[in-house]
């Protein structure tokens, strides 16, 4: 598709989805070079850089909401999206419109055409009035990758809107991620790290932690998930080398977790009273996902470092009580919950929440992409004892694992009823037909969550 012939939002989405077919991953030098060609939009704003395996989107959402509530115009760039690409771009919680999406889609494409015509010519960087390096590192046929394209669109939009803060989530990894071209963020956050994307990031937690820790910058404060010693040793070593003040969130920061029908109360370690006694404060989250207590605590600790004397406890308490992140233990239909757990650690957190809530005899809807290491997820779910029925399905697209293959894996670890379906719509309808007066949970993939939410939004269920 010729980008100059694109006139609709759907065409732009289709073009971007097809970008991986004709371009390869850029080096950080290439990404930085094109960013300089754009004029380094957003780089002078206060940027919070967030990496990790699980919880990034939730932490970004909690933190953005807190900053907005304190009167700061706050932008957020996250991935992936569930239904529309516009979900990746938000300012003060409001999504980018399709009209704005098209404007910045065209702008990036225009700049791609311009830079191709400039390769080989001496240019001065718009960022610092120095000679830009892009003349040396960008190929004549340069084109941003799928993620880079969206990242550039986001930063241009945020700059034009004059935001105060930009909460920036990495796409994959950290060290080599496109977002890591930002030289001096205000704060870095690393959420829970697990075994995911091992073909790109490494086969051990330590290797993956090393990639995620690549966002740590000299003298930039760091807030991090500090539960796993293997991971924290890597993060803390990197922080020490960079001269960084690091602030961990551990189990000792959270206590008295109480799950109600639709929300959670918990106590968060707040600060020390005259540097002697720990002070605890109670918060409420509008979710039944216990893992969100950790993500909320990471965001609160980060907000205190950013806002300092401006930080208000009562305002933060109000924000947490009304903020939720889509697709994370979200009730989309009566007694029908979707959760974005799509790797082993995510599934373990999901199951821990069910155990804490005392869930038994529920129905599970499961779908997953075939390129995922889904066997450990299936084993944990099958052996958890929470489900009396499992409905497996095929996701839209070529990447989906086949329902019969999924069912075969479940049958290795459980004797409960396993039902096969060939579409997400059929799976949801089958779950609802078979489950009377019980609860349904859908997990395995964010794509599954997106399909279900899309069907609900279009009133097809």
Q: What is the pLDDT of residues 376-419, one digit of tens each?
A: 999 999 999 999 999 999 999 888 999 999 999 999 999 999 99
Q: Tell me, what's the pLDDT at 133?
A: 54
pLDDT of residue 130: 58
pLDDT of residue 338: 96
Per-residue DSSP letter, 214: G
Judged against a pLDDT cut of 90, whether residue 188 lies above it is answered with: yes
- The predicted pLDDT at position 251 comes to 86
Q: Is the pLDDT of residue 47 over 80?
A: yes
Furthest-apart CA pair in the chain: how many Å? 70
The string of pLDDT tens digits covering residues 295-324 is: 999 999 999 999 999 999 999 999 999 998
pLDDT band at residue 220 under the 50/70/90 scheme: very high
* Over residues 180-201, mean pLDDT: 86
319 or 129, higher pLDDT = 319
Report pLDDT digits (tens) over 326-344: 988 999 999 999 999 888 8
316 contacts 305 by C-beta, under 8 angstroms: no
Q: What global pTM score does this model have?
A: 0.91
pLDDT tier for residue 197 given thresholds of 50, 70 and 90:
low
419-439: pLDDT as tens digits: 999 999 999 999 999 998 889
Return the pLDDT at 45.
97
Cβ contact 127:39 at 8 Å: yes
User: H-helix or E-strand containing 154?
Assistant: helix 146-161
Are 339 and 441 spatial neighbours (Cβ–Cβ below 8 Å)?
Answer: yes
Lowest mean pLDDT, pick from 6-20, 265-279, 436-450: 265-279
Q: What are phi and psi of 284, to 5 degrees?
A: -130, 140
Distance CA 223, CA 217 (A): 12
Whether residue 49 has pLDDT greater than 60? yes
**58 within 8 A of 325, measured Cβ to Cβ:** yes
Among 369, 336, 365, 363, CA closest to 446: 369
Backbone dihedral angles phi then psi of residue 127, each to the nearest 5 degrees = -85, -40
> How far is the C-alpha of 12 from the C-alpha of 9, rounded, in Å?
5
Residue 50's pLDDT is what? 98
- Residue 141 pLDDT exceeds 90: no
pLDDT at 53 over 60: yes
In this prediction, residue 129 carries a pLDDT of 57
**pLDDT for 237-276, tens place per residue?**
999 999 999 999 998 899 999 988 889 999 998 776 656 6
Where does the pLDDT of residue 23 fall: very low under 50, low under 70, confident under 90, or very high at 90 and above?
Answer: confident
Residue 72 has pLDDT above 90, yes or no: yes
pLDDT of residue 440: 96
Q: Which residues does residue 254 pair with via DSSP β-bridges, in sequence order?
A: 268
* In the predicted structure, residue 132 carries a pLDDT above the cut 70: no
pLDDT at position 345: 87
In three-state secondary structure terms, 171 is: coil
Q: What is the pLDDT of residue 119?
A: 65
């Amino acid at each position: 598709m010729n980008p100059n012939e694109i006139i609709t939002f759907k065409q732009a989405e289709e073009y971007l989805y097809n970008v991986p077919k004709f371009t390869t991953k850029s080096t950080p030098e290439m990404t930085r070079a094109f960013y300089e060609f754009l004029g380094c939009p957003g780089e002078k704003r206060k940027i919070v850089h967030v990496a990790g395996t699980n919880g990034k989107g939730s932490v970004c959402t909690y933190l953005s909401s807190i900053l907005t509530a304190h009167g700061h115009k706050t932008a957020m760039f996250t991935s992936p999206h569930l239904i529309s690409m516009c979900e990746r771009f938000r300012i003060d919680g409001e999504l980018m419109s399709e009209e704005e999406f098209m404007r910045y889609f065209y702008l990036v494409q225009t700049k791609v055409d311009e830079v191709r015509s400039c390769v080989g010519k001496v240019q001065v960087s718009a960022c610092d009035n120095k000679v830009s390096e892009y003349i040396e590192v960008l190929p004549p046929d340069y084109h941003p990758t799928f993620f880079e394209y969206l990242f550039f669109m986001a930063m241009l939009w945020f700059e034009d809107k004059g935001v105060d803060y930009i909460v920036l989530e990495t796409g994959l990894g950290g060290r080599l991620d496109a977002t890591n071209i930002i030289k001096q963020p205000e704060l870095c956050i690393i959420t829970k790290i697990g075994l995911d994307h091992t073909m790109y990031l490494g086969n051990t937690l330590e290797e993956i932690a090393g990639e995620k820790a690549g966002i740590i910058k000299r003298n930039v404060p760091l807030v991090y998930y500090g539960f796993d010693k293997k991971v924290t040793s890597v993060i803390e070593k990197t922080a020490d080398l960079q001269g960084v003040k690091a602030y961990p969130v551990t189990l000792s920061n959270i206590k008295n977790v109480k799950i109600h029908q639709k929300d959670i109360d918990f106590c968060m370690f707040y600060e020390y009273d005259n540097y002697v006694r720990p002070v605890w404060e109670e918060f409420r989250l509008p979710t039944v996902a216990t893992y969100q207590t950790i993500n909320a605590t990471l965001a609160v600790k980060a907000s205190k470092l950013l806002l300092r004397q401006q930080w208000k406890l009562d305002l933060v308490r109000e924000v947490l009580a009304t903020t939720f992140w889509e697709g994370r233990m979200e009730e989309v239909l009566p007694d029908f919950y979707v959760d974005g757990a799509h790797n082993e650690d995510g599934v373990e957190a999901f199951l821990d929440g069910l155990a804490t809530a005392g869930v038994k005899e529920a129905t599970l809807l499961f779908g997953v992409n075939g390129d995922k290491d889904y066997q450990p997820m299936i084993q944990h779910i099958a052996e958890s004892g929470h489900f009396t029925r499992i409905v497996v399905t095929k996701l839209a697209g070529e990447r989906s694992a086949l329902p019969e293959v999924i069912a075969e894996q479940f049958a290795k670890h459980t004797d409960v009823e396993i039902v096969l379906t060939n579409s997400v719509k059929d799976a949801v309808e089958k779950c609802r037909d078979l489950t009377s007066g019980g609860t349904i949970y859908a997990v395995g993939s964010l794509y599954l969550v997106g399909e279900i939410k899309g069907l609900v939004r279009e009133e097809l269920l």
